[in-house]
Structures are given as C-alpha cells and as structure tokens.
Structure 1
C-alpha cells in the first residue's frame, strides 16, 4: 500500500513537470522604428517631427515628437498575428500611412501591404522587431 501511494505521488509530481517550459505561450515583442518624411512632404527623408504610430488591433500607440528624432516604440505586441499599423501626422491629420504586417515569430516581420507611404522591415535588438515608415 505504501508503494502504491508513493508511486501515485511520484506520477502526480512528474506529470506537472514540463521540462522547464513556460506556462504562458504568449510571446510578445517591442515594435519600434523611425518615422520619416518623404520628399512629397518636403522632408527629404528627415525624421518626422510629429505623428502617431498605432496598432489598430491592439489599441496601442506611441507619439513621435521632434525631440525623439522620429523614433517610436510600442511594447507588448504578441507574435503570431497580423496587424494594421496606422500613422497619422498630427500636424496634418489628412496625411495617413497604413502598413499591414505579419509577425509569425519573434524574429520575423513581413510587410504584406502599404498605402500612403513606405513601410520597410528593419533590423532590431533581440526581443524587438523594426518597422521603418516614410510618410509620402
């Protein structure tokens, strides 16, 4: 009887071991990049002095200001999804860029479509993916 109880205890204990894996399969990255003004905006590729970069599906955004030299950063973006990234120039609300992106894993960002500007995947640090956007 003691052996049976010990065996059952051991089986219950072992079944909870997952080899050190995570209980939560949700992996997130930081999406960051540089927002620049294209030639039609008179920017000649200069960093944007204003704008908002937003991920529609996640209701997350970051505001670009002149002091940030066009840089934006949005944390907590889940991998394994398709997202719409929208850029609005806060000085000219009629200027918008839309980037459709796919993030299949933590090391890959693919631009699937773009309008109103140019969206280019770039290199970033570990745990980050880069999307550089030019307002045309």
Structure 2
C-alpha cells in the first residue's frame, strides 16, 4: 500500500513512528559525518566516539564548547528544512561539563538556556556525586515499585 505524501502527518497516524524514525536516522548520520569530518567533537568511550544520543523524542548532542563547533552544529540542525520535524529551541539547553568560558555567549548564539550539573534526565541523576545515597534514593524507590 502506497500513500501519497501530502500535508503533514499527525500523531496517531500509523506512519508517524516510521517517518519519525527515518528522519531521526538521517539526523544521526548527519551528526556522524560532521564528527568524522572533524567539524564536531564528541567524547570517546574506549574506541567508540560519541557525538550524540537519540532516545525517543530526545536528542543529546555532545560537542566542544567553541563557537566554531556550535556554528557547525547549527548547520547540521538545519535538517528541519528538509524534514517534517522542528527543533524546539525553547526546550533546548546547553549543559557545560567542567569549566566552560563564555557559556552564556555560546548559549546566546544557540538561542537556548544554560543549565548546570547535576540534573535529572529520564529519572537518572547526571553529574551528581555517584556515591551520594540521597542522589540515588529516588531511583532505588522506583526500582522497588
């Protein structure tokens, strides 16, 4: 069965998850190419370089805290021009890891907010002292339910 692609697909449409997955795969490959070309820099875990993580409708992008990195990132994020998805800059955040100079300037260039570690993402603490029991209590409580 083929359907003519016209208009926009709504949430609940049987094709929506497939189209979303296809578009996010394109974004993922664009991020990989930007990293491989040296335009964006993520971080290394063993022999694996990580520049981004996709989970459901969330995307986490790791790059250097430099204007040139953010310029290339903005170019990659223009994928919304060729896709049906739009990035909600109002929900986007820069979360510096370590000391980052001029983080407010970088955030202004990206038109997003700055948050500081520790934060909670998907119910898990990020950037908190991993040995602190109070940080892990909510996670343990959820697992026990």
TM norm structure 2: 0.29
Larger-Rg structure: 1
Greater fraction of residues in helix: 2
* Higher RCO structure, 1 or 2 (CA under 8 Å, sep 6+): 1
